């Protein structure tokens, strides 16, 4: 009797458990997915979804959520867009033709040549084994198109605007040096007043993007061979050299690695934590250090690498420190 009662009890629990399991299963709805179809123009553009691992395929099924779509093709401006997928989505994207790389323009006052740098996004900084903490973290920065000085400002060009030449190493076609960040601001103001355009120093993101030949993964500004690209401690013989004697980078810019350090518009920050998406830090505190980039004639190879950075007081001067200009407004565009 006890045996029979126990069996009935166990059987009852089993039946109850099966009944609960069945009702529990029916309590959950079937998982919902939606399709995402991107229709690019031109049709052979590359499509990526940046915030998930699976590769994009037309009509792929995705769980409801927000997706970062990138569409790109050589010769066109890259397009990125966040898309909310709460139902089936068809996304038409038409890419714009990119501005021709390497367009040139010459300032009529000083004779400075400028090269057009089309807008784009890139990975800024370095996580390599030889990277310093102030080169981290690597982060995405995006810049609008701008005109970058083809070379560092020469002593001839400086003299035309300022009517003096403070340089230690004299030579009309050598870069001007022994000028402070404050001096560069006076130069830009005079140039802007006389030419009708607007001149300034590059932001740190603009400088690195241009140095990298438009955001490419390069060790030095234009490639991986410093002897071909830069005047630095190994080959400069203890002095500056006339600009544009070494090879240009992929944009046609010279001496972005070596010859003289270059003043940057931005205030110094110890690293890239919290760096803005456009790479341009807001605000300039009086007396705060400004950024120097590129290395110089007395720098060893690790210090003419693309991501290497220094900070220096805005009133400081050195015979290893010069600058190059950015022209903001686009002549003929």
| CATH number of the domain to which 150 belongs | 3.90.1580.10
Check whether residue 133 and residue 196 sit in a common domain: yes
Q: Which of 73, 94, 115 is the last residue of a domain?
A: 94
For the chain, the domain total comes to: 2
Same domain, 180 and 87: no
19 occurs within a structural domain: no
> Is 22 domain-assigned?
no
Assess if residue 298 is contained within a domain.
Answer: yes
pLDDT score recorded for residue 103: 83
Supply the CATH number for residue 46's domain: 2.60.40.1120
Query: What was the pLDDT predicted at 331?
Result: 46
Please confirm whether the linkage preceding 42 is cis (ω < 30° from 0): yes
Instruction: Give burial (CB, 10 Å; 0-12/13-18/19+) of 234.
Output: middle
Same domain, 214 and 69: no
The answer as to whether 248 is a domain residue is yes
Measured distance CA(202)–CA(324) in Å, rounded: 8
333 within some domain? no
Domain residues for the domain of 205 are 104-327
Nearest alpha carbon to residue 68 among 82, 57, 79, 54: 82
Are residue 170 and residue 84 in the same domain, yes or no?
Answer: no
Instruction: Judge if 317 and 185 occupy the same domain.
Output: yes
| Spans in the chain with pLDDT lower than 50 | 1-29, 331-332
- Are the CB atoms for 282 and 179 separated by under 8 Å? no
Q: What pLDDT shows up at residue 77?
A: 80
**Shared-domain flag, residues 153 and 297:** yes
> Is residue 1 situated within a structural domain?
no
In the prediction, which pLDDT does 101 show? 63
Q: In what order do the strands lie in the sheet with 309-312?
A: 309-312, 290-293, 261-267, 321-322
Q: What is the pLDDT of residue 217?
A: 94
- Give pLDDT, residue 286: 84
Residue with tokens 């590769």: 55
Residues 45 and 190 in one domain: no
Q: Which of 53, 69, 94 is where one domain is finished?
A: 94
| 82/139 same-domain check | no
CA dihedral 45, 48, 50, 53 (to 10 degrees): -160
The C-alpha atoms of residue 161 and residue 263 are separated, in whole angstroms, by 18
Same domain assignment for residues 275 and 212? yes
- Is residue 219 located within the same domain as residue 240? yes
Distance CA 280, CA 291 (A): 12
Torsion angles phi and psi, residue 86, rounded to 5: -120, 5
Asked if residue 8 is part of any domain, the answer here is no
Do 221 and 279 lie in a common domain? yes
Q: Is residue 200 part of a domain?
A: yes
Residues 124 and 70 in one domain: no
The answer to whether 229 and 316 are in contact (CB under 8 A) is no
Contact criterion met (CB below 8 Å) for 153 and 223: no
At residue 199, the 3 state secondary structure works out as strand
């Amino acid at each position: 009797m006890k045996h029979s009662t126990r069996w009935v009890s166990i059987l009852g629990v089993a039946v109850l458990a099966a009944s609960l399991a069945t009702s529990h299963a029916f309590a959950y709805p079937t998982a919902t997915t939606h399709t995402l179809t991107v229709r690019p123009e031109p049709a052979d553009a590359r499509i990526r979804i940046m915030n998930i691992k699976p590769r994009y395929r037309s009509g792929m099924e995705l769980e409801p959520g927000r997706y970062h779509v990138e569409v790109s093709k050589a010769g066109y401006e890259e397009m990125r867009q966040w898309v909310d997928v709460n139902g089936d989505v068809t996304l038409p994207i038409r890419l714009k033709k990119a501005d021709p790389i390497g367009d040139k323009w010459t300032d009529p006052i000083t004779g400075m040549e400028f090269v057009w740098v089309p807008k784009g996004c890139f990975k800024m900084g370095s996580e390599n084994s030889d990277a310093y903490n102030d080169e981290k973290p690597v982060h995405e920065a995006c810049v609008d198109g701008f005109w970058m000085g083809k070379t560092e400002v020469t002593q001839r060009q400086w003299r035309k605007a300022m009517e003096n030449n403070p340089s230690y190493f004299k030579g009309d076609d050598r870069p001007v040096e022994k000028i402070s960040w404050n001096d560069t601001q006076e130069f830009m103001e005079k140039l802007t007043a006389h030419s009708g355009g607007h001149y300034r120093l590059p932001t740190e993101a603009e400088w690195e993007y241009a140095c990298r030949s438009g955001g490419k993964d390069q060790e030095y500004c234009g490639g991986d061979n410093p002897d071909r690209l830069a005047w630095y401690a190994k080959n400069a013989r203890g002095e500056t050299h006339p600009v544009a004697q070494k090879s240009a980078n992929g944009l046609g810019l010279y001496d972005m690695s070596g010859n003289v350090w270059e003043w940057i518009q931005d205030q110094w920050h110890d690293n890239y934590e919290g760096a803005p998406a456009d790479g341009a830090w807001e605000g300039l505190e009086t007396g705060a250090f400004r950024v120097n980039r590129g290395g110089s004639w007395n720098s060893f190879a690790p210090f003419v690498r693309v991501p290497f950075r220094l900070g220096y007081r805005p009133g400081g001067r050195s015979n290893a420190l010069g600058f190059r200009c950015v022209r903001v407004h686009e002549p003929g565009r």
